[in-house]
Amino acid sequence: MRWSVVVGGVLASVTLSPILVGCGQADIPTNASTRDFCGEGEKFSASTSFKEGVAAAEKLGEVGTPKNITAGARAGFVELVERVTGSDSGADFKKKQAKLTKAEATHLADLNEYIQKTCDLS
């Protein structure tokens, strides 16, 4: 499954048990290799349950973003990780996803664009 598809909304199908983890933009590394960033994104995309999605999002937060990511794409990455790890359940995540601000939606689009340009999605 493609990383960018998740960013576009595939996580709506992730619906199981809750796990909470707090993450801030300052806590997420900015020196990930492109290989690690894209590889962990693929694992995140392959999540088939809420619990797996949260674990994969936690790992994404540990890996962080490459240095060359745009500010908007990084904001989208951080916001996505925080939305997933800060949700109580798949239903809670869906509610949060449905209430994105205009800025959050723009950041998510920026992240999607960055992923499409940077990661091998074949």
Walk along the chain (122 residues) and give the pLDDT tens digit of each residue.
344 334 334 343 332 223 333 445 458 999 999 999 999 998 998 888 889 999 999 999 999 999 999 999 999 999 999 999 999 998 999 899 899 999 999 999 999 999 999 998 77
pLDDT at 26: 57
Token representation of residue 80? 């996505």
Query: What pTM, to 2 d.p., does this model score?
Result: 0.80
- Other beta carbons within 10 angstroms of residue 46's beta carbon come to 15
- Lookup: tokens for 16: 């199981």
Cα–Cα distance measured from residue 43 to residue 59, given in angstroms and rounded to the nearest whole number:
9
CA distance 31 to 71: 14
Distance CA 15, CA 91 (A): 6
Q: How far is 39 from 17, CA to CA, in rounded Å?
A: 24
Residue pair 114/69 in contact by the 8 Å Cβ criterion: yes
